[in-house]
Amino acid sequence: MNLNDYIYDWNTAGGAEIPAGRAVTLADETLRDGLQNPSVKDPSIENKLRILHLMEELGIESVDIGLPGAGPRAFADTLRLAQEIVSCRMKIRPYAAARTHENDIRPIAEVSQRAGIPVEAAMFLGSSPIRRLAEDWTVDHLAGLTAHAVDFAVRESLPAMYVTEDTIRTDRDTVKLLYGTAIAHGATAIVLCDTVGHATPRGAFNLTRFAVEEIVQPSGGHIRVDWHGHNDRGLAVANSIAAIMGGADQVHGAANSLGERVGNTPIELMLVNLRLMGVIDRDLSRLREYCQAVARATGTSIPPNYPVVGHDAFRTATGVHAAAIIKAYKKGDPLLANLVYSGVPSHLFGLEQIIEIGPMSGRSNVTYWLEKRGLPVGDDVVDRILAAAKQSASVLTESELLALARP
């Protein structure tokens, strides 16, 4: 049975948002920009290495390994991560952050040389008119900093990634001048940023399309275009997809939406959506493990209702919903069970639908729970469990249910 015959997909009624075969990569900012969240703790290097290996398992293509110019510990951790990539022959590509200043770029060159691997230098500076007003900067001053920084990175044999902060609120002429300057001086990647979470999907699309058509294509070079978004309006994932539609080659994100204020684009949800849209096809069964590892290492928590990796993402105790899932399971079709009351097939992410028993449950919940555990099913035990559930203020625990199931 082809379940596509039973789902009318308005998402693709006018054609795929991102055409099949379009190459899109992801850059993970968890270990640098994600750690700017004021509530996180900086993980130990052992935890950072574990997180790095999980990124590799998930097929994430690039990783920000730190800002080595920030101090001795930052340098040591950045170097160790680069060395791990080399010694374990990982496919993931490292890059490191720097202000457009030699003192920040030079440590990246040292990390690259000591580890024996190219480390892309992500050189950033503020660009928006409102930032220029606060800082008393002129556009000519920013263009000069851009040229000098990119020149220095190229002399140090570093791949040059040029980043402007708050690009989404920067005027066209300034965007064109700064990125044009960076490319002219040897930048091979440009990053468009929604630093304060101002963008809407249309804005992300418009900016990216402008950069591709008005800056990159006229340059004649093979320049990668990246999108880096924040989630202040709750639009980060939608904006990232819109940026891809506008021509972005790579999207940045951080695990569990970590980052300044409300955080960056959640990279796990980009993996989920790109997989469901058919843009990527890879094993994502360790996605929850990755998110949980980051939460433990940073001293943060994943909300129970968080999409896909949250504790409640595939749990239901509502009778009518559970009944539909149970009927699908009884047809011997796990995929049908995954789709009948879920927009995300849990099995693609190493998870499964879970039927709980609580005050909104029906007899089918109880019968399914008993059958799944090989326990006797009879009217008396079903009635006893259901009566207790109806009186409960929450879902019954496993121990409570086992006690009720005893004769």
* 309: in domain: no
Closest CA to 187 of 117, 129, 125: 125
Whether 306 maps to a domain, the answer reads no
Q: How far apart are CA 305 and CA 320, in angstroms?
A: 20
Q: To 5 degrees, how large is the angle CA 174–CA 177–CA 183?
A: 135
Spell out, as residue ranges, where the chain has pLDDT lower than 50.
none
Q: Looking at the structure, do residues 223 and 153 belong to the same domain, yes or no? A: yes
User: Do 363 and 255 sit in the same domain of this protein?
Assistant: no
Residue 263 belongs to some domain of the structure: yes
How far apart, in whole angstroms, are the C-alpha atoms of residue 126 and residue 141?
A: 11
Whether residue 238 is found in the same domain as residue 114: yes
| Closest among 191, 26, 216, 180 to 97, alpha carbons compared | 191
What pLDDT, on a 0 to 100 scale, did the predictor assign at position 8? 84
Final residue belonging to a domain, choices 267, 298, 329: 298
Write the DSSP assignment of 246-288 as a string of letters. HT-SEEEEBGGG-SSTT-B-BHHHHHHHHHHTTS-----TTHH
Please report the pLDDT score of residue 231 as a whole number. Answer: 97
Q: Structure tokens of 166? A: 């708050």
96 and 152 share one domain = yes
- Domain co-membership, 72 together with 120: yes
Beta strand pairing status for 250-253 and 120-126? unpaired
* Same domain for 247 and 125: yes
Residue 92 lies in a domain: yes
Q: Is residue 48 domain-resident?
A: yes
Identify the three-state secondary structure at position 234.
coil
- The verdict on 238 and 328 lying in the same domain is no
Domain end among 246, 272, 298: 298
Q: Are residues 276 and 320 both part of a single domain?
A: no
CA distance 77 to 44: 9
What is the rounded CA–CA span in Å between residue 172 and residue 346?
43
Reduced to 3 states (helix: H, G, I; strand: E, B; else coil), residue 363 is helix
- Cα gap 258→279, rounded to integer Å: 24
Structural domain count of the chain: 2
Q: CA 14, CA 17: separation in Å to the nearest integer?
A: 8
Residues 222 and 342 in one domain: no
Q: Torsion angle, CA of 189/193/195/196, rounded to 10 degrees?
A: 180
Query: 190 - beta bridge partners?
Result: 162, 225
Position 1 scores a pLDDT of 62
Looking up residue 64, the CATH number of its domain turns out to be 3.20.20.70
In a domain, 218, yes or no: yes
Q: Determine the structural domain holding residue 121 and report its residue range.
A: 15-298
DSSP state of 26: E
Answer yes or no: do 294 and 327 share one domain: no
Q: Is the dihedral of CA 358, 361, 362, 363 positive or negative?
A: negative
Within a domain: 310: no
326 & 290 share domain: no
Q: Of 298, 333, 362, at which residue does a domain stop?
A: 298
Going through 100-141 in order, the beta strands assigned E by DSSP cover 120-126
- The pTM score is 0.93
Whether residue 338 sits in one domain with residue 374 = yes
